[in-house]
């Protein structure tokens, strides 16, 4: 089968047009005009991801985070960052990026987060396109902040996370939650506007955290890497489509750990 068939089905579910303005999405390395046998889903394309793809004879990687996010000045293979790109090209491995469009699309990453955390009655957090938006806000069964912190750690398999609270008090009740995968601290005013007691997002900046608290918003920062949920969920969808469409295709989930942070 052809790589373009797989991506056409993916884009029927998650169109590139849903992406945030200026975002990087779509084919970034290689070609979709080729026959493929194996597709691998990954969160990031790093050295271990590339080595894994080569070892497993992967033809196409569908990835959440673009490997090329800033303009390249050269493709000198002696530079470690460039070597990844050169190795992918040498081994004819195409890389297709699905970034903020999978965050925005209905039934995508932010909705999967809500399912895991039992957040119901959801709507988007911040409108990006007419009738579509980034992040989600909804309701949970009333529970203490401490209970929800433990649930977030358990659901995402975290050794630790950051709680944004002046009082360090985890006893107050939470019943309305906003969530945005990745780095979503720019959208905290939308969480306040939507009446959220708590905002869950990654990479919260120090001074932004202080501003949140001044305006009465508590937050949990579980890290950017919780987006790794993309891997299992997209692999599941691809496998489902393969059966429906009669594709002869092996779908792999990347086993490379690309989380740069470790809690000690």
Q: Is residue 22 scored above 80 in pLDDT?
A: yes
β-sheet with 218-221: strand ranges across: 120-129, 132-144, 173-183, 198-202, 218-221, 162-164
Tell me what pLDDT residue 131 has.
Answer: 94
Q: Which helix (H) or strand (E) holds 39?
A: strand 38-42
Residue 67 confidence (pLDDT) above 90: yes
CA distance 109 to 27: 20
pLDDT in tens, 184-212: 999 999 999 999 999 999 999 999 999 99
Tell me what the pLDDT averaged over the chain comes to.
96
Do 205 and 242 lie in a common domain? no
pLDDT at 115 over 90: yes
Does any domain span residue 259?
no
Same domain (yes/no): 163, 233: no
The predicted model scores a pTM of 0.96
* Structural domain for 17, as ranges: 3-100+227-253
Q: What is the CA radius of gyration of the chain?
A: 19
CATH of the domain at 249: 3.40.1390.30
């Amino acid at each position: 089968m052809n790589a373009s068939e797989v991506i056409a089905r993916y884009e029927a579910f998650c169109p590139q047009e849903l992406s945030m303005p200026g975002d990087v999405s779509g084919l970034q390395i290689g070609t979709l005009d080729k026959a493929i046998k194996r597709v691998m889903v990954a969160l990031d394309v790093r050295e271990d991801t590339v080595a894994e793809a080569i070892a497993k004879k992967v033809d196409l990687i569908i990835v959440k985070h673009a490997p090329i996010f800033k303009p390249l000045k050269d493709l000198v293979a002696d530079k470690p960052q460039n070597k990844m790109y050169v190795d992918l090209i040498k081994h004819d491995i195409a890389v297709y990026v699905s970034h903020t469009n999978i965050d925005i699309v209905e039934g995508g990453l932010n909705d999967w987060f809500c399912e895991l955390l039992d957040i119901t009655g959801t709507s988007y957090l911040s409108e990006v396109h007419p009738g579509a938006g980034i992040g989600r806000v909804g309701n949970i069964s009333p529970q203490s902040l401490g209970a929800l912190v433990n649930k977030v750690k358990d659901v995402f398999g975290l050794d630790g996370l950051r709680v944004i609270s002046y009082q360090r008090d985890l006893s107050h009740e939470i019943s309305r939650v906003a969530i945005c995968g990745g780095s979503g601290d720019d959208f905290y005013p939308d969480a306040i506007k939507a009446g959220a007691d708590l905002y869950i997002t990654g990479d919260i900046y120090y001074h932004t955290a202080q501003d949140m608290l001044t305006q009465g918003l508590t937050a949990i920062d579980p890290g950017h890497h919780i987006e790794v949920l993309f891997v299992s969920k997209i692999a599941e969808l691809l496998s489902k489509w393969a059966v429906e469409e009669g594709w002869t295709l092996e779908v792999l989930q990347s086993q490379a750990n690309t989380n740069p942070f470790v809690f000690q």
